[in-house]
Amino acid sequence: MDTTAPAENASLDELQQRIGYQFRDISLLQLALMHKSYANEQQLEEHCGNERLEFLGDAVIELVISHILMEQAQDSPEGRLSKMRASIVNTDSLAAISRSYALSDCLRLSRGEQENRGREKKSILANAYEALTAAVYFDGGYDAVFRMISDHFKPLIDEAARRRGYSRDYKSRLQELVQKLFNDTPVYEIISEQGPDHYKSFGVRVMINNQPCGTGHGGNKKTAEQQAAREALKLLESTQP
């Protein structure tokens, strides 16, 4: 039995029309829109917020965008593809897409978070979109989420293809943000190096103000540094209004 209030049902119906996907299991959409502050306020179980969906959605978006770029930019090397993806998938772009489909209208936030203008926070909006993509993936599978993400990201993908990835990568964006916030520069440290010479795997940690802020792994140092920078960016951007 659906215990959702009629007004909320109508709001969710409108949201599904906007995003171009109709859920079979509406509870997945409801979970994707439930911020942890609301779950805590309602004394729900810890997993009832959207953080677990956000975790998967982050990977789903990266996979779909990587898939699209591999098909559309077949002459581009790995480094350029990584830069193109970084210009497409970031907190700013995810928050902008979230705003364009008015996800904030349907978010469940605690009273305190609402009073703190939570519906306008880039990190909350970006995380909600990540959770939404995971919900679509669970509900309709890869083909469904591929179609939705392809549609939502098309302008950004077209722009990245036009520029061929010549934009700020994760390391550049992190350095700019750290200089702005702390007047400092990120420091990258190799924390692991495994495998034979022809098949190395590197682990890298990025330090900001002598504090570890992100780790990354890859087949070369540059890839690992980019992953560490991406993790640190997400951490720092989540603290910004």
In whole angstroms, give the CA distance from residue 156 to residue 162.
10
How many C-beta neighbours within 10 Å does residue 143 have? 9
Domains of the chain with bracketed CATH: 6-163 (1.10.1520.10), 170-237 (3.30.160.20)
Higher pLDDT, residue 37 or 41: 37
User: Which residues are catalytic, by number?
Assistant: 58, 130
Model confidence pLDDT, tens digit, residues 40-63: 777 666 667 899 999 999 999 999
Count of CA atoms in the C-beta half-sphere (13 A) of 175: 10
Express each pLDDT in 199-217 by its tens digit. 788 999 999 999 999 999 9
Helical segments of 20-169, H only: 26-32, 36-41, 51-72, 78-88, 91-100, 111-115, 122-163
pTM of the full structure: 0.70
Cα 220 to chain centroid distance, Å, stands at 24
